[in-house]
Amino acid sequence: MNSVKRLTESSDLKSIPSIYAYSTNSNEYPASDPQDSIPVIDFSLLTSPDPTLRCQVIQDLDKACTEWGFFQVINHGVPETLMNMVIEKSDEFFELTDEEKKDFEEKDVRDPIRYGTSFNTKKEKFFCWRDFLKLIVHPEFHSPNKPLGFSDVLFEYTKRTREVARGLLSGISMSLGLDHSCIEKALKLESSLQICIVNLYPPCPQPDLAIGLPPHSDHGLLTFLIENGIGGLQIKHNGQWVNVNNTLPGSFLVNTADHLEIFSNGRYKSVEHRAVVNNAFTRISVAVAHGPSPDTAVRPAYELVDEERCPATFVPMKYKEYVEMQQSNKLYRKTCLDQQQMTRSNTPLMGEILHVATIVVAGIRAEEAVPMIFAPTVDNQLTGPLQNSPGQAYGWYHLDPTVVTSQHHYRGLLPSPNSSA
């Protein structure tokens, strides 16, 4: 594997290879410092015996999720020494020899331990100035067996952050007007999928021409971030890119992610962010993504859906399928989430179809997305145009029914219209 770290250790590196040249779009203008500071959430108040203080922090969470989608968390109970050790051990991992790290090189996006570079070199037209280590740490814990002590430190750290995440999500449930345990029960957080991503951004000789990570949103509910004191994170706030600097010592930087947007039916948005690089210092960051249970089909909370005033805006999809879809493609903006949004169909042939959305079907590796169709049923059978001639609109269509509330959704692979399969 041609890591960025190895590339930068070449003494004659004066310019970046062309594969790392990042072309910005017109809306990816430079960042500035924010006029307002990123909100601060005092985690300890969520368990305060004073109901006034608990009410206030829940209101603070609502405001932070609504206005920013990013906030700092203080008084969370995770020792700062443990947070520092995670950074130190992460640095030690990247200092291992290429031979030592070779055992962990990624072979498949579903591997529980993946050491790699960029984001997805099989799909990308340009490479990110970044090496990474991605680990599934819950419901089963996976970690490299070196460097010495890394696994133990990471196990304790991810266990502690999982507890904080569940506490925050309890508060967020209440900020949405739901029972405090609604998110935990609906999304089965006792078996949540928790992924740890360790990022290494080495110094870059031409930082204005490269990118650490392009604009994107995260899968999951909440992402926790810590770093080694070197800035580089930028977030999109009120349509403008702003730098994230001077976070409080010992705090977590937390952002809302795609599946919180789905569950809240769009009330809380996942926020685009990006990582930029510099020419002087190595930046290390450790992100922990907290998601639902892998097999949970995430949909808007029933309590937040009203077909007249606030209809559901996302189709259900298993969390593990969403993660695989994102990891199997290029990383850019909110493309995965956009594919899960519902749109009304005006196609005359399919007059009885309620919703059509474009998603990638689970378990099918396809270059193109395929439709998911929400259609009315009678006695568990399709009615209307789909009943006898599903091929009239898209060609041959293999249907696989699964129950979704009072309707069925049908999904399948789309071969060519002339297929006789």
Q: What is the pLDDT of residue 87?
A: 98
Q: Is the pLDDT of residue 359 over 70?
A: no
pTM, two decimal places: 0.80
Mean pLDDT score of the chain: 81
Q: DSSP letters of 72-125?
A: EEES-S--HHHHHHHHHHHHHHHTS-HHHHHTTB-SSTT-SEEEEESS-TTT-S
Q: Which amino acid is at 181?
A: S
Q: What is the pLDDT of residue 120?
A: 62
Q: Which amino acid is at 2?
A: N
Instruction: Compute the distance between CA of residue 334 and CA of residue 131 in angstroms, rounded to an integer.
Output: 22
Q: Is the pLDDT of residue 376 over 90?
A: no
Q: Name which of 119, 159, 122 is nearest 143 in CA terms.
A: 159
Q: What is the pLDDT of residue 117?
A: 86
Tell me: the pLDDT tens digits for 89-109?
A: 999 999 999 999 999 987 887
- CA 416 vs CA 14, 206, 360: distances in Å: 49, 46, 17
Per mean pLDDT, which range of 106-115, 305-314, 386-395 is the poorest? 386-395
Delineate the domains of the chain, giving CATH numbers in brackets: 4-335 (2.60.120.330), 344-411 (no CATH)
Contact of 301 with 176, CB cutoff 8 Å: yes
Q: Which of 35-39, 354-358, 416-420 has the highest mean pLDDT?
A: 35-39
Residue whose pair of structure tokens reads 């990022």 in the numeric block: 199
The residues near 211 (Cβ < 8 Å, ≥ 6 apart) are: 22, 128, 129, 274, 275, 276, 277
> Is the sign of the CA dihedral 21, 330, 133, 117 positive or negative?
negative
Identify the residue with better confidence: 295 or 117.
295
What is the band of 29 on the pLDDT scale with cuts at 50, 70, 90? low
Cis ω on the peptide bond leading into residue 147 (within 30° of 0)? yes
Q: Is the pLDDT of residue 170 over 80?
A: yes
What is the band of 341 on the pLDDT scale with cuts at 50, 70, 90? confident
Instruction: Compute the distance between CA of residue 55 and CA of residue 63 in angstroms, rounded to an integer.
Output: 13
Query: What share of the chain in percent tops pLDDT 70?
Result: 75
Contact of 254 with 222, CB cutoff 8 Å: yes
Query: What share of the chain in percent tops pLDDT 90?
Result: 61
282: alpha, beta or left? (left if phi > 0; alpha if psi -120 to 50): beta
Residue whose pair of structure tokens reads 């809380």 in the numeric block: 268
Tell me: the pLDDT tens digits for 321-339?
A: 888 887 766 555 566 777 6
Tell me: the pLDDT tens digits for 177-212?
A: 999 999 999 999 999 999 999 999 999 999 999 999
Identify the residue with better confidence: 226 or 309.
226
